[in-house]
Homo-oligomer: A and B are copies of this chain.
Amino acid sequence: MPEVIFSVDQTLSMRDQKIPGHNRWHPDIPPAATVSPGAEFRLECRDWTDNQIGNNDSANDVRDVDLSHAHMLSGPIAVEGAEPGDLLIVDILDLGPIPQPTSDGSGSGWGYTGVFARDNGGGFLTDHFPDSYKAIWDFHGQMATSRHIPGVRYTGITHPGLMGTAPSAELLARWNAREQALIDTDPYRVPALALPPLPDNTLAGQLAGEDAARIGREGARTVPARENGGNHDIKNFTRGSRVFYPVHVPGGLLSAGDLHFSQGDGEITFCGAIEMGGFLDLHVDLIKGGMEKYGVTTNPIFMPGNVEPRYSEFLSFVGISVDHTTDTNYYLDATIAYQNACLNAIEYLKTFGYSGEQAYLLLGSAPIEGRLSGVVDIPNACSTLYLPTSIFDFDIRPTADGPRKTDRGRCAVTS
């Protein structure tokens, strides 16, 4: 087990750790630790909401979640010798849930998938599912099951949803400008088009007072993926993965968090992976001048891990960029196409007895693949959703006999 260089007492808030983490992107958040190229180390992580969600049968906590706390990141970690223009190599050696039971029962053996309400973040299908829902998952080694979605059992492709380097001041300013410009096109939209800096509940590592307040005013929210990596939510970013991050500030300032026991491509339920706290073992190294050498000027590149479960059989759902309710055609819009693929999968699963909400929670958390299958055949983008058939303990394939419909319980809802 590598040395723990960022430790978390899971009975305490991230704010009350000896060395707290952070929940905004800003170049001036000081490093929590410094390592050399070649180092291997462990980060301990809180769940992304700082434990606002409980192991129970009500979705009220999901409905009432305060997203200004998100995401609780472990770091930043400075890498000696890293300079702007370098590529920071990060290998994911291992990760997993909190190994030891905690006195408050947090973590250690369970996680959750949630759908946010439309007026509190929403989700990919918020027009169809505007309320809050939740499923609790129990871990059995690398397998997960849920009392809220019976009949499925699958191996997680465990990964950090969020990892990245700090932006430079100049890059941060560009982020804030372009996202505000987007918000300004429809400032009262629900859900919002983007999330501007928000001082409330900002955590700026070891900074306090005016230094911390400035981070709150300037720091980028951690919700989207950006040029520094960030919340890329890439389902195959698992054990054995190697990622190459652009370095924008001296030391690189690597942070990570938002651990997912499992997630489907797209993380369509927003809080859609199986969320958990846990540990993350990393190895780091540098390619000096790597950004120019390899033409990596905007986003990171990575190599996915080779120890994920490989499925041989899928049931695949097709969606195209048409609103079938209103017969409205969109131009090569892969997002709408994927929404339709998801809706088609949900309708299909309902014929087996699942509720739409259960099916939605399942597609957000199970290792489904979302593919951009056709993006040039005007006017219709074609997206496809690949659902592994073996995650079900019954035969999910279409047959002449029709589906085996049965009572499949219900997920957690609000009261």
Nearest Cβ on chain B to A103's Cβ, whole angstroms: 15
Cβ of A129 under 8 Å from chain B: no
Cβ of A414 under 8 Å from chain B: no
Copies in the complex: 4
List of B residues within 8 angstroms of A93 by Cβ? 140-143
A121 CA / B268 CA spacing, docked (Å): 32
Cβ of A381 under 8 Å from chain B: yes
**Chain A count of residues within 8 A CB distance of the other chain:** 130
Give chain A interface residues in 280-328, CB to chain B under 8 Å.
281, 283, 286-288, 290, 293-304, 306-320, 322, 324, 327-328
Closest to A297 in B: B347
7 residue pairs bridging A and B, Cβ less than 8 Å apart: A94-B141, A182-B379, A226-B322, A229-B318, A266-B372, A309-B312, A333-B335
Instruction: Say yes or no: A377 contacts B224, CB within 8 Å.
Output: yes
Instruction: Say yes or no: B335 contacts A381, CB within 8 Å.
Output: yes
A380 CA / B175 CA spacing, docked (Å): 11
A351 CA / B173 CA spacing, docked (Å): 29
From the candidates B92, B240, B344, B372, name the one contacting A299 in the complex (CB within 8 A): B344
Nearest Cβ on chain B to A279's Cβ, whole angstroms: 10
List of B residues within 8 angstroms of A380 by Cβ? 224-226
Instruction: Say yes or no: A225 contacts B296, CB within 8 Å.
Output: no
Instruction: Say yes or no: B308 contacts A311, CB within 8 Å.
Output: no
Instruction: Say yes or no: B87 contacts A293, CB within 8 Å.
Output: no
Residues of A near any B CB (own CB < 8 A): 1, 40, 87, 91-94, 99-101, 108-109, 121, 123-124, 140-143, 155, 174, 177-179, 181-182, 191-195, 223-227, 229, 231-236, 239-240, 244, 265-270, 272, 281, 283, 286-288, 290, 293-304, 306-320, 322, 324, 327-335, 338, 340-341, 344, 347-348, 350-351, 369-384, 386, 389-390, 397-400, 402-403
A302 CA / B317 CA spacing, docked (Å): 7
List of B residues within 8 angstroms of A329 by Cβ? 178-179, 181-182, 194
Instruction: Say yes or no: B351 contacts A398, CB within 8 Å.
Output: no
Q: Which 3 pairs of residues, A with B, have the shortest CB-CB distance? A: A93-B141, A94-B141, A224-B380
Instruction: Say yes or no: A372 contacts B265, CB within 8 Å.
Output: yes
Instruction: Say yes or no: B109 contacts A1, CB within 8 Å.
Output: yes
A381 CA / B372 CA spacing, docked (Å): 13
